[in-house]
Amino acid sequence: MSHLKQADPAIYSALEKEVSRQNEGLELIASENFVSRPVMQAMGSPLTNKYAEGLPGKRYYGGCQFVDIAEDIARDRAKQVFNCEWVNVQPHSGASANAAVYLTLMKPGDVFLGLNLAHGGHLTHGSPVNFSGILYKAEYYGVEPDGPDAGRIDMNKVRDQALKVRPRMISIGASAYSRDFDYAAFRSVADEIGAFLWMDMAHTAGLIAAKIMKDPLPHCHIVSTTTHKTLRGPRGGMLLIGKDGANTMGKVAPKSGRTKNWSELFDSSVFPGMQGGPLMHVIAAKAVAFGEALEPEFITYAKQVISNSKAMANAFVERGYDVVSGGTDNHLSLIDLRNKGITGKDAEIVLGTADITVNKNMVPYDTESPFVTSGIRIGSPAMTTRGMGEDDFRTIVHLIDRVLTNAHNDSVISDVRGAIHELTDRFPLYDFVTA
Ligand SMILES: *Cc1c(COP(=O)(O)O)cnc(C)c1O
């Protein structure tokens, strides 16, 4: 980092402080992870200099022969990781990938059916402040309020809602849902009404890649993802079509004199539909991360993510916390704090003072506003990357509980901060700024 340090001390200093924060703190935000140094090196490379609109072998610019190699490797590895027919690795982010899905399958004003945002759904699945809710008509399914399936999706209700609102597309996927999805049941609902089925696996892509959560690809017409959450790659997005998904969508009307297939339509929604030049340095970093995801160590990692997440959820339940749906199948839990007398917002702030980073989150049927919320979302992917195991996560729950039950006691909070620094010291992260 010597060049940056000399040329731009202000930015270097911000970077140095952020690295210390990442090193010393406890990162429990469920959507975050730590990438490897090879991934970072590909990202911080001269590939950022290259314009490469188009696809490998069919670019609108000269000089693309070497970035083509990187993108071809990224695509081949992604196909191996997810056992799929087609991928596009160019979306700049999860939201861009999702925009390409809407652009391909929906016309403005069309109805789609997605998971209620207040029940774990994502902004890009119909929020009124997002393009998805502005341009299209969003209808929702949700999770059960009570009973044995409290906090879980009831597929009979999804079907009832689909028959009522007749969506052109059904979306699956969430940013705060701790259970797996019944993709086969979603597909049969979609087939019954002739709707497209789209899975946004942004959060769980790494767990699906490791084949420890159900695979959406055989059931869905289109799958989108981020590459930076459990998949542990650079910040970015991707679209995928499974081996069966593609050929069950029916024929597409001819465009410019010949019939296009769906994968070509999705490709052209990404570029030129949504984006200009792809980020070739990020695509190279995606290739590196997909290579890592093909190693046996990645399966070990993903299994540990889930074991740690379950250990954490159980430890919260043992301490009298209300874990939404009673537990977790994946890398995250949603904790309803209403019986603990603290809001999500206050919990996020006070945990932050002890160097524990979580995010406040709406819980299903929340009585607080989205700015306050009644819950927090807690995930295991980042600290699992640093090497922590179940015992460490049980210690973490103990420390979180101490903070939340002593939110106004500065000496307890400073004790906990000390304990957090001792814990994170044992699992070193990056020292590259000073190296
Ligand atoms: C994180 C997330 C996204 C958005 O990803 P960005 O890269 O932040 O745009 C989309 N969908 C779901 C379900 C997510 O969790």
Regarding whether 305 and 270 lie in a shared domain, the answer is no
Regarding whether 156 and 114 lie in a shared domain, the answer is yes
Output the six-digit token pair for 38: 């090879």
User: Which residues are the active-site residues?
Assistant: 51, 53, 200, 226, 229, 235
Ligand 1 pocket: which of 124, 231, 279 to mutate (most atoms within 8 A of CB): 124
Distance 122 CA to ligand 1 centre (A): 7
Using the 3D structure, point to which of 255, 272, 293 is the last residue of a domain.
Answer: 293
- Overall pTM surpassing 0.75 (yes/no): yes
Residues 6+ apart with CB under 8 A from 241: 84, 85, 86, 87, 217, 221, 222, 223, 262, 263, 266
Output the six-digit token pair for 258: 């010949």
CATH number for the domain including 63? 3.40.640.10
Regarding whether 283 and 406 lie in a shared domain, the answer is no
Query: What is each CA distance from 422 to 19, 46, 187, 288, 402, in whole angstroms?
Result: 17, 38, 48, 32, 16
Answer yes or no: is pLDDT of 258 > 80.
no
Regarding whether 307 and 166 lie in a shared domain, the answer is no
Residues 6+ apart with CB under 8 A from 159: 189, 192
Residue-wise pLDDT for 403-424, tens only, equals 999 999 999 999 999 999 999 9
Output the six-digit token pair for 423: 């814990």
In this predicted structure, what is the pLDDT of residue 245?
Answer: 54
Regarding whether 212 and 183 lie in a shared domain, the answer is yes
Tally of domains in the chain: 2
Alpha carbons within 13 angstroms on the beta-carbon side of residue 228 total 19
121 found inside a domain:
yes
Ligand 1 contact, 236 CB (< 6 A):
no
Dist CA 234 CA 34 (whole Å) = 9
Which ligand 1 atom is the nearest neighbour of the CA of 237? 7
Distance 413 CA to ligand 1 centre (A): 32
Query: What is each CA distance from 383 to 246, 306, 308, 342, in whole angstroms?
Result: 37, 12, 9, 25
Regarding whether 239 and 387 lie in a shared domain, the answer is no
Residue-wise pLDDT for 364-397, tens only, equals 999 999 999 999 999 999 999 999 999 999 999 9
158 found inside a domain:
yes
In this predicted structure, what is the pLDDT of residue 243?
Answer: 85
Strands across the sheet with 237-242, in order?
Answer: 84-88, 237-242, 222-226, 196-200, 169-172, 111-115, 137-141
Output the six-digit token pair for 87: 């991928």
Using the 3D structure, point to which of 260, 293, 326 is the last residue of a domain.
Answer: 293
Residue-wise pLDDT for 216-232, tens only, equals 999 999 999 999 999 99
Residue-wise pLDDT for 20-65, tens only, equals 999 999 999 999 999 999 999 999 999 999 999 999 999 999 999 9
Ligand 1 contact, 171 CB (< 6 A):
no
Ligand 1 contact, 175 CB (< 6 A):
yes
Which amino acid, 386?
A: R
Residue-wise pLDDT for 83-127, tens only, equals 999 999 999 999 999 999 999 999 999 999 999 999 999 999 999
Which ligand 1 atom is the nearest neighbour of the CA of 92? 7
Regarding whether 139 and 238 lie in a shared domain, the answer is yes
